[in-house]
Amino acid sequence: AKARGGNCLHFYSQQMFDHFQNRLALENELKHALAQQQFAIHLQPKIMLDTQRLQGFEVLLRWQSPSRGMVPPDEFISILEYARLMIPVGYWVIEQSFLAMQQLQHAGYADITIAINLSAEQLMDKGLPSYLDTLLQQYHLQASNFELELTESLLAQNIQDTITTMHQLKAMGFLFAIDDFGTGYSSLSYLRQMPVDTIKIDKSFVFGMLDNQADFDIITSTIAMVKKLGLAVVAEGVETQAQCRMLKAHQCDIAQGYLFSKPVAASQLLAHLQANLDE
């Protein structure tokens, strides 16, 4: 038993060592990724359920690593945060989003919004409001064309500072969405204190909504509550017509998911729109 225990211990520490090595390697690669233009933004359409028209897009970061290929954000965003790289990369994402919005407006898409995910340290960065203000002037865009997506877990930290910054950005005209709604630990009271425009129901509830009564009840009661508060509600991860019909029947405003489109590279967005979404 002793020898076995020893082996187990050795096995786990080898695994932990490999994991640590890999994280270090990722961190080192990510340090150069921005300068080496390995990042890209992809945009995923959001569709208004009453008219089936395009409401806007969510911007999703992609890392094309020369050695690893396309690495999903869930595997590198936490490392960017840990390595204090999320602020510069986040600023780059924001500027690319402004560029995409400018191109969309030139192509005639006037009334759409682009949603940008913000991490906690980005929102806490003192330079954020002035950076956004500079970009608005440089690209001749309205703040109301942009929605900033914050997660519930982010809202649990530094709550007073967060509320102050949100009100400052709201006064500039930016919209706010609460992302992954229903998965965090925070209380609903932030909906009263924070200038929130939109709630995004997490895709885990959408995936289960037609098979699982609890998921269905959570979705329909969340939609009812959110609408009662006068906010817009987005369902993410919509993959089937059946989910879409049910969401529409329960007055969900907006849907996003593979049913309509996967996220599309910014460089291909206009061609993609012409081929798929134009009426």
Interface ranges with ligand C2E (CB under 6 A)? 44, 60-61, 72-74, 77, 93, 117-119, 179-180, 203, 236-239, 256-258, 263
72 binds, among ligand C2E, Ca ion, none (CB under 5 to 8 A by kind): ligand C2E
Give the interface size with Ca ion as a residue count (CB under 5 A): 4
Handedness of CA 254, 257, 261, 267 (dihedral sign): positive
> With respect to ligand C2E, which residue has the nearer C-beta, 4 or 97?
97
129 binds, among Ca ion, ligand C2E, none (CB under 5 to 8 A by kind): none
Site for Ca ion in 177-236 (CB under 5 A): 179-180
> With respect to Ca ion, which residue has the nearer C-beta, 29 or 113?
113
Q: Where are the alpha helices (DSSP H) in 53-151?
A: 77-82, 86-106, 120-124, 128-139
258 binds, among ligand C2E, Ca ion, none (CB under 5 to 8 A by kind): ligand C2E
Q: Residue 63: CA atoms inside 13 Å, Cβ hemisphere, count?
A: 25
243 binds, among ligand C2E, Ca ion, none (CB under 5 to 8 A by kind): none
Provide, for the chain, the percentages of residues in helix, strand and coil under a 3-state DSSP scheme, each rounded to the nearest 5. Answer: 50, 20, 30
Distances (CA, A) of 1 to 12, 14, 15, 86, 238: 16, 20, 21, 46, 51
Using N-to-C axis directions, what is the helix angle for 86-106 and 128-139, rounded to 10°? 20
Measured from the CB of residue 59, what is the shortest distance to ligand C2E in angstroms? 6
Q: How many CB atoms lie within 10 A of CB 270?
A: 16
Based on the shown chain and the rule CB under 5 A, indicate whether residue 117 belongs to the binding site for Ca ion.
Answer: yes
Distance, in Å, from the CA atom of 65 to the CA atom of 79, rounded to the nearest integer, reads 14
> With respect to ligand C2E, which residue has the nearer C-beta, 29 or 180?
180
| Tokens 């002037």, located at residue | 137
Measured from the CB of residue 276, what is the shortest distance to ligand C2E in angstroms? 15
Distance, in Å, from the CA atom of 34 to the CA atom of 259, rounded to the nearest integer, reads 32
> With respect to Ca ion, which residue has the nearer C-beta, 29 or 179?
179
Phi, psi at 56, each rounded to 5°? 165, -160
Based on the shown chain and the rule CB under 5 A, indicate whether residue 152 belongs to the binding site for Ca ion.
Answer: no
> With respect to ligand C2E, which residue has the nearer C-beta, 14 or 267?
267
Binding footprint of Ca ion on the chain (CB under 5 A): 117, 149, 179-180
